[in-house]
């Protein structure tokens, strides 16, 4: 089962190829503004390194967010285009899930954190289970103070992963049951593991059904009511 994984939901962009969950090639770059320019060269590099061709791909996995709006859009659109070209099904993965899966803990409750800007953070609790992790609550958006309150109200020993370094210093003050850990960013090699799990169970998504998980309104919004006709771009010939 040959899988292409694309993760551009956060400041760390990555592309990976794997046979099942066995990594064949990978490319990574940390740059919060360089998702689009990274993707195509990274995909080409991985195919050349692995000696594969696009038609070899059986499944495409993509991180749908939450995270950076531009990165999420770039990753999903690229994954959808490749999936449509080669006729491959897709696996959609949340960045919070990808962080939790890679977190190294056997007993602590896991709180992955993704900085979605504007002083807001996406998070969701996970619990370690044999063979992986399981969601242990709903995903939500909180301020740094709200995150502190969530962790303070959790009586269990917890592990925070993700964008912890970017939090205000006072966020973790007094939280003695909280340990900070890795990873800081989700990555495509973790998507390979998750996609392999879903592929073995036939759990796919059609490319056209993949949707971004923004969890809040984008910084720039289009006023679709300005369009005179559905499907007509402004300035297009009538």
The architecture CATH gives domain 2-94+186-216 = 2-Layer Sandwich (3.30)
**pLDDT for res 9:** 96
Residue 159 above 70 pLDDT?
A: yes
Residue 22 above 50 pLDDT?
A: yes
pLDDT digits (tens, 9 = 90+) for 89-134: 999 999 999 999 999 778 899 999 999 998 999 999 999 998 899 9
User: pTM (2 decimals)?
Assistant: 0.88
How far is Cα 175 from Cα 159, in angstroms, rounded to an integer?
11
**pLDDT for res 160:** 96
Cis check: omega of the bond before 186, within 30 degrees of 0: no
As to burial, measured by CB atoms within 10 angstroms (0-12 exposed, 13-18 middle, 19+ buried), residue 142 is middle
**pLDDT for res 105:** 79
pLDDT winner (highest mean) among 83-92, 125-134, 164-173? 83-92
The beta strands (E) that lie in 66-185 are given as 90-94, 109-115, 121-123, 126-129, 132-135, 140-142, 158-162, 178-180
Domains of the chain by residue range: 2-94+186-216, 96-180
C-alpha dist (Å) from residue 238 to 22, 91, 224: 52, 39, 18
How far is Cα 45 from Cα 41, in angstroms, rounded to an integer?
6
Residue 221 above 70 pLDDT?
A: no
pLDDT digits (tens, 9 = 90+) for 36-69: 899 999 999 999 999 999 999 999 999 999 999 9
The backbone torsions φ and ψ at residue 95, rounded to the nearest 5 degrees and listed phi first, read -65, -30
**pLDDT for res 133:** 94
How far is Cα 117 from Cα 140, in angstroms, rounded to an integer?
14
**pLDDT for res 226:** 41
pLDDT category at 224 given cuts 50, 70, 90 is very low
Tell me the CATH number for domain 96-180: 3.30.420.200
* The two domains 2-94+186-216 and 96-180 share their CATH topology (first three levels equal): yes
**pLDDT for res 190:** 97
**pLDDT for res 216:** 78
Closest CA to 167 of 142, 190, 187: 142
**Mean per-residue pLDDT for 30-40?**
89
As to burial, measured by CB atoms within 10 angstroms (0-12 exposed, 13-18 middle, 19+ buried), residue 1 is middle
Sign (positive/negative) of CA torsion 197, 199, 200, 203? positive
């Amino acid at each position: 089962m040959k899988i292409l994984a694309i993760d551009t939901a956060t400041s760390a962009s990555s592309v990976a190829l794997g046979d099942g969950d066995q990594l064949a090639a990978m490319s990574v770059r940390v740059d919060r503004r360089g998702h689009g320019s990274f993707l195509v060269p990274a995909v080409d590099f991985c195919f050349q390194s692995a000696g594969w061709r696009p038609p070899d791909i059986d499944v495409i996995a993509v991180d749908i967010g939450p995270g950076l709006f531009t990165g999420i859009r770039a990753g999903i659109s690229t994954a959808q285009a490749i999936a449509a070209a080669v006729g491959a099904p897709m696996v959609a993965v949340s960045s919070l899930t990808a962080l939790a899966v890679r977190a190294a803990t056997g007993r602590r409750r896991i709180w992955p954190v993704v900085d979605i800007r504007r002083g807001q953070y996406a998070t969701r609790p996970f619990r370690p289970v044999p063979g992986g992790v399981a969601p242990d609550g709903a995903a939500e958006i909180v301020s740094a103070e709200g995150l502190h309150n969530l962790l303070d109200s959790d009586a269990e020993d917890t592990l925070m992963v993700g964008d912890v370094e970017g939090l205000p210093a006072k966020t973790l003050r007094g939280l003695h049951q909280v340990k900070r850990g890795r990873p800081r960013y989700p990555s495509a090699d973790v998507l390979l593991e998750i996609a392999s799990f879903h592929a073995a169970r036939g759990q796919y998504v059609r490319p056209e059904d993949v949707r971004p998980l923004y969890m809040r309104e984008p910084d720039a919004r289009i006023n679709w009511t300005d369009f005179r006709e559905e499907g007509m771009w402004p300035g297009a010939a009538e």
